Amino acid sequence: MCTTGLLLLARCRKPPPSSRTSAYCGVRKPPSLLQARCFHRSQLLRTLSLRDLPDRVCHDSPATEPAGKDPSAIALHSALPRFLRWPQPPRTVLIINKPHDEPTRVAFLEVTSWLRQSHPSITIIVEPATAAEAGSEMLDLVVADNSEDLTRVVDFVITLGGDGTILHTSSLFPTRVPPIISFSLGTLGFLIPFGIGDFRTALQNLIAGPAVPLLHRTRLTCAFFRANGLRIVTDGLDTDLQAMNDIVLHRGRHPHLTITECSVDGEFLTGGIADGLIVSTPTGSTAYSLSAGGPLVHPAVSSLILTPICPRSLSFRPALLPPTSTIRLRLSRASRVQADVSVDGRDVHLLGREEYVEVRASRWGIPCVAKGDGGRDWVGGINRTLKWNQSFVNTFKEP
């Protein structure tokens, strides 16, 4: 039996009929997660291994990772139109929602209630924080902690919140990512094509429709190394970290500029004196990179974007690199300060002098459910959400 498992809160009337999940642990004091007034001491707690859940349904869509580093394979992989077709109905959904937000909590209860009524055969998995906020409404849900490998069992993901909710979802999947359908309840919502009012139609089309369009979003992967080339363990894991938006080397709270040696595919590119450097995906081109003067890049354009942050040079400009590139950022021995490295806005490592981080396009992209071909969602978001090139007094009207 796996030591880490899934917690299923069940009503205490009868044990489940399945012989695979009938191991009964008896009445025990609920852990801190369940110590809410909405729970009763009479409820029972039992533990399921991931083996007790069925494998995900292998949907009929192009693979979400290219083979090797062949440029044509990666370019074709990103440009292909993608449609999701289920060979059989999906069995498991993971719902991720924005925490500590009442409108999001209400939307979560509406979505789960609709799923229970319209598709009762689908198992719903949530995070512990979501379960705690849901209260007594979570009795039929499966609670998974962050240590669980969800890749094998999750068929698709529903996110309720803003762009940050999608970034958090990306961090839960170090390898293959299931299709994600997102509903806007956040501040910006540039990455989110659906409003929460559309969830019934959108989910019905995703679960039971003939096919839904997918937009593939590239991720980055990074690893850290000492001056002698030995790998540095980060976040307690000896694996590459995945980023949906960007990987940023920055001076943090230090007053001095960083001196960074940047190379591409083993060839020295430049020694940058700046507040920092950003390596972003096309998805991240509308985030920190854009604020630092980087270009807008369509998510279907498979590429890496290198953007300096406040460089001490008039000629250090952003660069667009092919997706096969390996970018190495080494903190120079001449740098007066160490540098923080953040992945999607989360600091993960303090880079010492002569240590370096290697960044490349990840094998594991993110298939996002789109309204149309994905391109129209992006163009509309640039116009409506980012207000691109709109003057203070808008004298133009949309046709």
Is 198 an annotated catalytic residue? no
Q: How many CB atoms are located within 10 Å of the residue 301 CB?
A: 15
Pairing status of strand 267-274 against strand 258-264? antiparallel
- Dist CA 152 CA 167 (whole Å): 20
248's tokens: 């940023």
Answer yes or no: are the C-beta atoms of 137 and 97 closer than 8 Å: no
Q: How far is CA 309 from CA 88, 264, 277, 316, 346, in A?
A: 48, 18, 6, 10, 17
Q: Which of 55, 149, 163, 275 is catalytic?
A: 163
Which residue, among 247, 285, 309, 281, has the nearest Cα to 388 in the 3D structure?
285
Phi then psi for residue 107, to 5 deg, are -65, -40
Paired tokens of 185: 């309840």
Query: At residue 151, what are phi and psi to the nearest 5 degrees?
Result: -60, -40
- DSSP-based helix, strand, coil % in the chain, nearest 5: 20, 30, 50
Residue 96: other Cβ atoms inside 10 A: 23
Q: From the CB of residue 173, how many other CB atoms can be counted at a distance below 10 Å? A: 20
Q: Give the side-chain half-sphere CA count within 13 A for 195.
A: 3
SS3 347: strand
H-helix or E-strand spanning residue 182:
strand 180-184
* Residue from 63, 89, 93 nearest 78 by CA: 63
DSSP assignment of 31-65 equals: -GGG-STTS-TT-EEEEE-GGGSPPPP--BS--SS
Roughly what angle, to the nearest 10 degrees, separates helices 199-208 and 102-118? 40
Active-site annotation, residues? 163
